[in-house]
Structure 1
């Protein structure tokens, strides 16, 4: 699975699942590289070393108890034609690197705990809702729920609005200053016309 081989047969009787269909086989080409470990009790995470099996055409780990994240190294399996990781306990996002699997015809990630947006482009645009069934945290095409942006950007006023706000604040300051100036002049005029004010207290009290 890691290097080229000659096209030879080996005889073995087994049932293998290819692209979701079961086949009874007695002879298999050794260049037909696939892994089917479905319906077992395997636990733990999928190793990043899976990405070294560049000749792999099919990978089926469905109906186990695998956990952890999907390895980004799966994106190195350039010959992969079907990938079935359904009915496990995988979490996190679907790696964007999987979009580069241009030979991928069958994808089944259903019944896991995956979250985040589904990668878009190339083969991923051909997969239906059934590929992602019962991953309640996934969003984006082909699912009906869009990926909402929970981060609300801060309100930034346009340049014109900000300058208008500054002018408005200065207008308030100038109005207060003018009102005080007018009141001061009026008081001074009254004092000069009537003489010094007679204070009722032994010391002056200023009211502002």
Structure 2
């Protein structure tokens, strides 16, 4: 048993949600050359702030409709159903849980509401639909680094205190920096590769059932 405040931080796309919502959207609605921008971001040649702005402005220009994105998400995107048991366990045990995402607010809002998980606080990039145009804002951008639109490490620093044990759950490139600064990392896909390459201790998981089992055994 760990006698500390327990802080659970989790990514959204590809973790709580089975697919990466942003990638699914850009594959379906985005410009033909979107993969070139993705590669440049992965290789740290371009900020996700720039890439995401380009993606969503291009997609909105071609569709003139955020509603089309929402309808696509509603039909094609599913939550990891195992997340419910994990989340309810965290609530019962008074573990603090936050979603930290380099994705967009409009689809996080929609999905959390759809699955009756509105009570989970989250930090993400902002997508503002003005009717005939959209505006993309990055309130948590860190210019000192500049690689991600939403700096996850900054959120960690603000939420952390000396008596905190931090768990992070992620799967992708925006999870790289924060994975180096927490007590326990659950990783898969690209985050797992990063942990291996950089000698970061982690626990491999496939879904939230794996995460739940480990957390229960560790904190009970």
TM-score (norm 1): 0.24
Higher helix share: 2
Higher strand share: 1
TM-score (norm 2): 0.23
Larger CA Rg, structure 1 vs 2: 1
Structure having greater relative contact order (Cα 8 Å, sep ≥ 6): 2
